[in-house]
Amino acid sequence: MATHPKRLGLKMGSRTEFTVLGDVIPGHVDVLRQVLREHIDNPRTQEAIDEIGTLHEARFVLLDGGKRLLFCSSFDGDWDTYIDDFATTAIGQDFDETWGHVQGYPGIKAPTVKDWFQAHAVEAGNFVCAYPKPTVKQVWRALAVQQAFEQVLDNPAAAEALQHPALKPLADLAAD
Amino acid sequence: MTDSVPKDPATTPGSQTADTTTQFNKKSGKGLRHGVISELATFFEVLPGHEDELRTACARLAETLKKGSLEMHMKTGLRDERHVIFDGGKRMMWCTTFETDWDPYVEDAVVIIGIENFVDWLQHTKEWPRFEAWLREAGGVEALNRELSDPSNEKSVRANARGLKEFLMSVQTPAVGYFNAVSDLTHPEIRKAMQVEQAFEKVLDTPGADEVLQQPALKPLLELAAD
């Protein structure tokens, strides 16, 4: 397994925060705003985020009258994998279309892209999550199990099966 | 999402861009929202020479929040927060996400978290005089806390938080894009789903469960058992 240098970003539970700032190329702010709007509405972006399955949340903020772009997110796992995942999905294209309006951005497939992001990253002074333990995928899995269990509960034919001692942990929750 | 029919941002689902929500709304204030979650990003200038004290004070707030009970977090609606000091220690961003409405979210900072936890770090910013003016008008830290010692006073304390909301909006820069992977679920809903999943894992670890799950009525669970 490849080893990576220490990356900026505080960790809490499964999550790591990432904050990065860049200077918007003069005259590009309106196009950048439009690009961000298109991405957030684009089902392709949502599908790619689902495919990656490690991004908890992300926001873009335009600062100083649109002269600077701030991105902050939190994600599961390793930072290098996080960036690699972006590069291999539709998010890579989104990133290029976004950060391409920021001075010096080398492109998501450039060998120097990780160095560029790290050079523009600022580690948070502190980072707090209300439910830090589960990963995105664990929450999605829990939701799928809950939905399956609700389907079972809605089926009258399941009532007898749920009486089996092996299913007691679930039956106890159904009684709540 | 961007059709010609005007929508109430507070009831329109989906991730959003600033173009649709820079106007104040009940759910997220001036910030964007995605599903049930709203974002608040605020920016401050650090008082010269106060960077270290600011960092220490922000860490104290973080520790207070980390020590908070699950119930406290579910009541306040806080999903996450961070302080980031940038520009060589001259500026700071405090950003949070939350799932309650804007009004109770800010009011609970006073009623549940305690305004002293915000005084602690805000006094090291150039925006402090405006915050202090509101605080003075509201009676000061001791008066607010003394008033809260009698629950019947909570209503007036919440009303006093109006100036705090105005202050926060004055230092806020709404995001131009916001996304959350678990945007449809509140914290209590996530907790409930995790409890069901943990119970299911216990079932899977129980001898004989494999055979029981073969019953047709349990098919939805059996399909997940293989994952």
Q: Do A173 and B195 touch (CB under 8 A)?
A: yes
pTM of the model: 0.90
Closest listed residue to residue B81, CA positions, set A60, A127, A58, A121: A127
Q: How far off is chain B from A79, nearest CA to CA, in Å? A: 18
For the segment(s) B16-178, the CATH number from 3.30.70.100, 1.10.10.10, 1.10.760.10, 3.40.50.2020 is: 3.30.70.100
Q: Do B207 and A166 touch (CB under 8 A)?
A: yes
Q: For B172, what's the count of Cα atoms within 13 Å in the CB-facing half-sphere?
A: 25
User: Which of A124, A140, A149 comes nearest B196 by C-beta?
Assistant: A149
Q: In what order do the strands lie in the sheet with B16-17?
A: A11-12, A15-23, A68-76, A55-63, B177-180, B16-17
Domain spans of chain A?
Answer: 11-120, 136-175
Token pair, residue B208, equals 């004989």
Tokens 């008008």 belong to which residue? Answer: B137
What interhelical angle do A79-87 and A113-120 show, nearest 10? 120
The alpha-helical segments, DSSP class H, found in A21-109 are: 29-41, 43-52, 79-87, 90-99
pLDDT in tens, B103-140: 999 999 999 999 999 999 999 999 999 999 999 999 99
pLDDT along chain A (176 residues), means of 10: 78 96 98 92 88 94 97 95 89 94 96 96 96 94 95 91 90 80
Q: Do B176 and A130 touch (CB under 8 A)?
A: no
For an interface test with A, give the residue of B17, B43, B191 to mutate (most A CBs within 10 A).
B17
Chain B residue with Cα closest to A123: B84
Chain A residue with Cα closest to B183: A57
Q: Which residues of A touch B193 (CB under 8 A)?
A: 139, 142-143, 145-146
For residue A3, the model assigns a pLDDT of: 65
| A62 lies within 8 A of chain B by CB | yes
What's domain A11-120's superfamily in CATH? Answer: Dimeric alpha+beta barrel. (3.30.70.1090)
**Residues B73, A160: Cα–Cα separation, whole Å:** 38
Q: Which residues of B touch A167 (CB under 8 A)?
A: 203, 209, 212
| A174 lies within 8 A of chain B by CB | no
Domain spans of chain B?
Answer: 16-178, 187-225
**Residues A158, A155: Cα–Cα separation, whole Å:** 6
DSSP B152: G
For residue B137, the model assigns a pLDDT of: 93
For an interface test with A, give the residue of B94, B97, B194 to mutate (most A CBs within 10 A).
B194
Q: Do B177 and A151 touch (CB under 8 A)?
A: no
ipTM of the complex: 0.92
The overall average pLDDT reported for chain A is 92
User: Which of B14, B15, B224 comes nearest A144 by C-beta?
Assistant: B224
